Structures are given as structure tokens and as C-alpha cells.
Amino acid sequence: MPDRRSLVRRARKIDRVLAETYPDARTELDFRTPFELLVATVLSAQTTDKRVNTVTPELFRRYPDAQALASADREDVERIVQPTGFFRAKTESILKLSQALVERYDGEVPGKLEELVTLPGVGRKTANVVLGDAFGIPGITVDTHFGRLARRFGWTTDKDPVKVEHEVGALFPRKDWTRLSHHLIWHGRRVCHARNPACGACTVARWCPSYGEGPTDPEKAAKLVRTEGRA
């Protein structure tokens, strides 16, 4: 394990290079309001952002805010969100979520982590997505991609998302947390896959202690690179 100063320096170098690699990195969920992003993030569990984006236009056209969704017809919502999988459980979550917003916050999405995580179906990951992308409040989103890359880069050895969030957050200025999350998630979706990472096509390979887990030959690695995120 490198000393603290070297770890911080290497971590920030990796993030700078990823920022150059993915200058347009952002959430890949389509949304216009904090409420839309909150619901879309809940729907994104166990499916792709791309699939969520196919159902949310109709969902938000019929139920544009918390008040409308709180009193929505359950079967109609299930029909709309069915393509995202686990549609009954997800319908239950977003209906209860909307009802809680109406009852506790006058239908508005709160802009504080401690309030967001009290809502049905909302954990720290979802809360940090909403804070970072809808409110501009820095947060680290530890999804499966972020956790995997943080461990491969040697920034943490932990698998507990909350511990990963705090350990990685300590390596970076708070203002960079949201962008950092996007950089790692985009890289994880496109290059640094869970199985067979495209090491030979990785822009941060020279600073990665896990280099060689996947093919290092540039041609073989290039075939593994995805042009857009899938999950």
C-alpha cells in the first residue's frame, strides 16, 4: 500500500485523466426536475439507464409530480414501468415515495441527505445521485462500478458502500465528488468491466495497480470497449 501522500497524488491524477477521457460524463438518466431524477434513480435498480429512459417519458407525462404519482392508479404505473423489471416492487416504492413527499415535504424533494434517506426506497446511493445532479451538492455515488474501480485503483479495500464513500471521499476535495462519481461510473461501464476489463485500452492503465486483470494487447482490449454505458 503506498503512503498517504502518494495515494492521494495518484488518485487525483487518475481522476484528471478520466476527466479528459470523458469530458461529457454525467448521469445517463434523463430528467428535468429533482422529482424526475429521484423516481428514475429508484427505477434504475437492476436494469440499465437506457431502459429507464424508455419508460419515464410516459410516466412523467401522466404523473408529472409527487402529487400526481401519489394518487396514481397502481395498475397503470405497473404497466408503464414493467420493462424495467421488478415492476411491482418498483411501483410500490415510487408510489410510497411520492406519498411521503406530499405528506412530509409538500410534494418537494428535500435537498438534504439525512432527509432523503428517510424516504421509502431511497438509500445513500440514490440520495447522492439526486443531491449531486439535481441540486449541485457534492456527493459520492457508490454503485457497483464505482466500488469495483475504487478497489482496483487501490483507493480502498472495503466492500461496504458507506465505508467506500468515506474512504474515497477523503482522497479528493469535496467539490470534485460528483464529477469523480461520473468519471468512475462511465469508465466502469465502458472500459473497466467486472469481467475482462479492457486494460490495453485504458487511459489510466499506467497508474492502476490492477493492470493486467484483463487483456493488455491493445487490439484485443479495443474489442471490449463499449461506446456507451449499458448498466
215 plus 165 within the same structural domain: yes
pTM of the prediction?
Answer: 0.91
- Residue 82 located in a structural domain: yes
- Residue 156 located in a structural domain: yes
Q: Which residue among 125, 159, 175, 176 is the active-site one?
A: 125
Q: Which amino acid is at 17?
A: V
End-of-domain residue from the set 63, 92, 108: 108
103 plus 144 within the same structural domain: no
Question: At 189, which CATH number?
Answer: 1.10.1670.10
* The three three-digit cell numbers of residue 6, written as one number: 502518494
79 plus 145 within the same structural domain: no
Question: Catalytic residue at 160?
Answer: no
48 plus 10 within the same structural domain: no
> What local confidence, expressed as pLDDT, does residue 229 receive?
54
3-state DSSP assignment of residue 200: helix
Question: At 42, which CATH number?
Answer: 1.10.340.30
104 plus 52 within the same structural domain: yes
What is the end-to-end Cα distance of the chain in Å, rounded? 31
- Digitized pLDDT (tens) for each residue of the chain, 231 residues in all: 568 999 999 999 999 999 999 999 999 999 999 999 999 999 999 999 999 999 999 999 999 999 999 999 999 999 999 999 999 999 999 999 999 999 999 999 999 999 999 999 999 999 999 999 999 999 999 999 999 999 999 999 999 999 999 999 999 999 999 999 999 999 999 999 999 999 999 999 999 999 999 999 999 999 999 986 555
Distance from chain centroid for Cα 69:
24
End-of-domain residue from the set 54, 87, 108: 108
DSSP 153: T
Q: Which ranges of the chain does DSSP label H, i.e. alpha helix?
A: 4-21, 34-43, 49-62, 66-70, 74-81, 87-105, 113-116, 124-134, 144-152, 161-169, 177-190, 218-222
Domain extent at residue 90 = 34-108
101 plus 81 within the same structural domain: yes
Q: Which residue among 49, 133, 143, 176 is the active-site one?
A: 143
> What local confidence, expressed as pLDDT, does residue 227 receive?
81
Number of structural domains in the chain: 2
